[in-house]
């Protein structure tokens, strides 16, 4: 059976560290699967993820609007609309939006992973739901 959701009808997650918002379209709660995690992210100008990596998880960003910088051990790379970024499992990375707001689609598989923060705080993994519940990224 197919299902259709609009971003505005789904719970929004707002990062405890200001500047990031996410909306999942596919997760355990909505689709009752843990094979993947997919949704959209909004970064305010100046926002960034912590420098981190995911154990047991391939990671993709498809940039829809805005400009960003992807930091990896190999260097920093400018990305913009139409760019697809692939982060292999265990690869260290950070996404920054220093000059413009950023809107992108994010896909992670499988949704059975652990995130390790290398530069940041535990709050970088805490997200407040619009309905008041707190979601903690593992």
Confidence (pLDDT) at 73: 96
Overall number of domains in the chain: 1
Question: Residue 52 falls within a domain, yes or no?
Answer: yes
Cβ–Cβ < 8 Å for 112, 56: yes
Q: Looking at residue 28, what DSSP letter applies?
A: H
Question: Residue 4 falls within a domain, yes or no?
Answer: no
Confidence (pLDDT) at 130: 81
Q: Looking at residue 7, what DSSP letter applies?
A: G
CATH of the domain at 103: 2.60.120.10
Each residue's pLDDT tens digit, 19-51: 999 998 888 877 777 888 899 999 999 999 999
Question: Residue 114 falls within a domain, yes or no?
Answer: yes
Question: Residue 1 falls within a domain, yes or no?
Answer: no
Confidence (pLDDT) at 28: 80
Confidence (pLDDT) at 34: 80
Question: Residue 3 falls within a domain, yes or no?
Answer: no
- Sorted by sequence, the CB contacts under 8 Å of residue 119 that are 6+ apart come out as 50, 51, 52, 94
Give the residues of the chain that fall short of pLDDT 70: 1, 132-138
Q: Which domain holds residue 122?
A: 11-133
Question: Residue 138 falls within a domain, yes or no?
Answer: no
Cβ–Cβ < 8 Å for 46, 117: no
Question: Residue 2 falls within a domain, yes or no?
Answer: no
Question: Residue 112 falls within a domain, yes or no?
Answer: yes
């Amino acid at each position: 059976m197919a299902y259709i959701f609009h971003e505005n009808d789904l719970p929004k997650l707002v990062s405890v560290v200001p500047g990031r918002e996410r909306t999942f379209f596919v997760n355990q709660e909505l689709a009752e699967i843990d094979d993947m995690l997919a949704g959209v992210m909004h970064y305010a100008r100046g926002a960034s993820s912590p420098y981190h990596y995911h154990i047991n998880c391939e990671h993709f960003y498809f940039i829809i609007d805005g400009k960003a910088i992807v930091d990896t051990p190999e260097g920093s790379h400018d990305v913009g609309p139409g760019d697809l970024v692939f982060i292999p499992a265990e690869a260290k990375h950070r996404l920054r939006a220093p000059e413009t707001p950023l809107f992108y689609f994010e896909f992670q598989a499988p949704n059975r992973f652990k995130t390790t923060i290398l530069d940041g705080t535990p709050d970088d993994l805490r997200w407040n739901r619009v309905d008041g519940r707190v979601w903690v990224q593992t």
